[in-house]
A and B are shown apart, each in its own frame.
Chain A
Amino acid sequence: MRIPILKLQNYLLVSIQIDLDDQTAIDFQEDLLSKIHKSGASGVVIDLTSVDIIDSFIAKVLGDVVSMSDLMGAKVVLTGIQPAVAMTLIDLGIHLQNVPTALDLEQGLIKLRQELEE
């Protein structure tokens, strides 16, 4: 299973709508980095509104993809993390402290625009 990555101007938009298994998460990491490379996108929004579980592995993959994209020069914002997912992540001891987040896709795009203007 591959997660679709859409291009909108100089942004990439991703909406994760499936229960992520480890391999799909790793494939997504690779796909996103190669899409950033090919498209020259400067910003990425990964929307997690439909994701109802993020375990330590998925959290690590998401955190890593933010750092990796940053190395390539693209800013990533995670959006739409559900209340139950946020509570579970903190219980697990995962804080994702250096990961930019926003409430929803719209706020995520605003945040990206601000970060890229700075």
Chain B
Amino acid sequence: MITKSSVQINKEWDIVGARQMGRELAKDLGFGTVDQARIATAISELARNIYLYAEKGKIAYETVEDMNKKGLKIIASDQGPGINDLSKVMEDGFSTSGGLGAGLPGVKRLMDYFDVVSEPGKGTTITTIKWVR
């Protein structure tokens, strides 16, 4: 069974709404408390990036199945300015916002799968998956 849902990110409080929704879904899927915290934190970082850089966007949730495992896919998308230098934002400690946000390398470490597609001027889509262990 595949379920899909999403939360729009338009204001600062939506960051909290998005991560609470993610945590609920993770709990329902059978993730342990540590992975629930990892997923909620990753969503918080992704939603904050949308809010800070693109002003608005969307966090989408999807349950995924592969062979014998179940997972939660999180897709953060926006039509913001995009990322000019992808290799640079994947470096630990790089930030254009003056230190807010541990950035994408942190999110990558929290999740099992991480992919970013970005086009300057058009927007960014980040896809991540966490598998239930």
Name A residues whose Cβ lies closer than 8 Å to a Cβ of B.
19-23, 52-57, 60, 82-85, 87-88, 91-94
Least Cβ–Cβ distance between B65 and chain A, in angstroms: 25
Q: Bound complex: CA of A15 vs CA of B123, how far in Å? A: 40
Least Cβ–Cβ distance between B31 and chain A, in angstroms: 11
Q: Are B41 and A92 in contact (CB under 8 A)?
A: yes
Q: Is the interface of B mostly helix, strand, loop or mixed?
A: helix
How many B residues, CB 8 Å from partner? 28
Q: Are B12 and A22 in contact (CB under 8 A)?
A: yes
Q: Are B102 and A92 in contact (CB under 8 A)?
A: yes
Identify the closest chain A residue to B37 (Cβ).
A84
Q: Are B45 and A84 in contact (CB under 8 A)?
A: no
Identify the closest chain A residue to B95 (Cβ).
A56
Q: Are B109 and A91 in contact (CB under 8 A)?
A: yes
Known contacts: A56-B45, A91-B38. The answer to whether A19 contacts B16 by CB under 8 A is: yes
Complex partner residue of B106 from A19, A23, A56, A85, CB under 8 angstroms: A56
Q: Are B38 and A94 in contact (CB under 8 A)?
A: no
